[in-house]
Structure 1
Amino acid sequence: MPVIRHADARRTETPNAVMTTYASPTQCSTALAMWHVDMAARKRGPLHAMDVEQIWTLLSGSASVDLAGETLSVSAGDTVVFPADVARQISTADGFTAVVAGLSPAHAYNPDAVTPEGACALAPKDDERMLPSWIA
């Protein structure tokens, strides 16, 4: 189906953000996923990596991005290209809204996890990868 209606957008809430999926393989025949991220003020996402490249454009607000140990400050209108298999963590003091695009399937994992207790919420162990529902 070439048109995905607004009513068919999928909303996923996590402790850190709300993702609204606009297009993904489970919604239509596509190899891409596109979703909207709303992160409230004073939130921090988990340290993780993705096994595919993603492109994030901030529509409003600002964020701090730790990308492979380098801290990037971004604000509305800025676009961040997240390379595949690079550790990242996103936080915000004031909140932000972003639109994200990337290939699907895309699996999240914690490249620094050693034990299940030390792993991020997205991937319970470093040898486990999971497909987030907003990308599926």
Structure 2
Amino acid sequence: MLDSTSTSASWWATVGAACSPGYSRPTTRSGPRRRSVRGLGPAQHPHRPQGRARRLNTIRNVPVLILAGEEDSQFPVHVVRKMADAIEGSTFRVLQHTAHLAARENPEGVNAEIDAFLAALPAAA
């Protein structure tokens, strides 16, 4: 793992910034500092719930399965449900006894939900 005293500056410039737009290189012990996103008002900011709902609301005419872990403290079920509600026609399922790393903690449950979701889709013409 790279830290702020090693070669992380070049790594962050090439990889980190591309993977995490809106964040700058970590400069404090508490983690990355958020940069402002010019030209976006509070309701349009990509890291705010209102902006997220607006972006999710643009997903249309495509099958979407959203899985939530019952015990996920990073993205609690009520937050994930709001995300699912923002996508018209999405399918929302809650995995029992599962936290944030659903595919790792409950691979059978994740695979069963994916299999059921795909089986319910209409056949391609």
Superposed pair shares fold, TM > 0.5 = no
TM-score grouping bracket, smaller chain normalisation:
under 0.3
Bigger Rg over Cα? 2
Higher relative CO (Cα under 8 Å, sequence separation at least 6) belongs to 1
Q: When you count helix as a share of all residues, which structure comes out higher? A: 2
Q: Which has the higher strand share?
A: 1
TM-score w.r.t. length of structure 2: 0.28
With the length of structure 1 as denominator, give the TM-score of the two structures: 0.26
